[in-house]
Structure 1
Amino acid sequence: MEQENAILALAALAQSTRIETYKLLVRHEPDGLPAGEIARALAVPQNTMSAHLNILSRAGLVTSERRSRLIVYRADMLRLRDLTLFLVKDCCGGDARLCTPLIAELIPCCPPQKVSS
C-alpha cells in the first residue's frame, strides 16, 4: 500500500460513526449489510449514513453491491490487511521480538484453520 492510500483510509476512519460502521461491517463479513440496517444499528439517519459510506468507499475500505432494491456494503478485508501491514511492516526494525506481542494479540482474534486432508 502506498502512503497516499494509507492516509486516505486512516482519514476516513478518523470519525466515530465511520469507524463504528467499518467495525460493524468487519463483524458481518462475508455477507455484508444493507445500508438501511447499518443506519438502524448505529442509530444514524439514512442520508447521513450514505455520506459516511461514500467516504469509506472512496477510501477503498468498503465495497457495495446492488441486490434488488438494496445496496449491500461489505468491508474490503484485503484493504484492511494492506493497511495493517503498512502500519506494522517496519515496526520492529528487523527485530522479531518486538512484534511478537502484537502477533500474539492478533492470533486469538483469527485462529488459523486446520486444513483437512
Structure 2
Amino acid sequence: MPKFIATLAGLLTSGALLYYFQNEIENNTSQIRSKLHKTKNQLEDSLPSQLKDSSVSDQNQLIHPSKRPNVRPQLPIPSITQTQNYINHRFIPTFKSSWNDQVANIANKFTSFDASESAKNAKSFIEDKWNKNK
C-alpha cells in the first residue's frame, strides 16, 4: 500500500507541475507574439511615407537582394516555426524524459525508505554524541 500512495503522490505532483508549466509556456508565448505584433506595427508606422508607398516593391527586392545596388545581403533569421519545431520535437521530449527519471528516482527512494531503521540509527548517533560530551 505505501508504494501505491507514493506512486500516486508522485503522479499527482508531476501532473500538477506539468499542467502549471504548460500553462505558463502558453501564456508567455502569447505575450511574446503580441509584443512582436505590436512592435512590427510600430515599425511599419514609423516608416517614412516614401517607403510606405513602395513597400510592395521593397518586399520583392528583399527576396532578391542582389538586384538592389550597394546593399549587403542580410542573414536569414530563423522563423518562429523552426523554434516551435525545436521545442516540440527536441526540447520537450528531453525535458520529459529527465523529469520522469527524477520523479521515478524520488518515488523509489520514498518506497524504499525504512523509518524504523533510520530512527534507530539516529538514536544511536545521538546517544554516542551525548556520551562523548559528558
The structure where strand makes up a greater share of residues is: 1
Mark the structure with the bigger radius of gyration.
2
TM bin, normalised by shorter chain, reads under 0.3
What TM-score comes out, normalization by structure 2 length? Answer: 0.22
TM-score (norm 1): 0.24
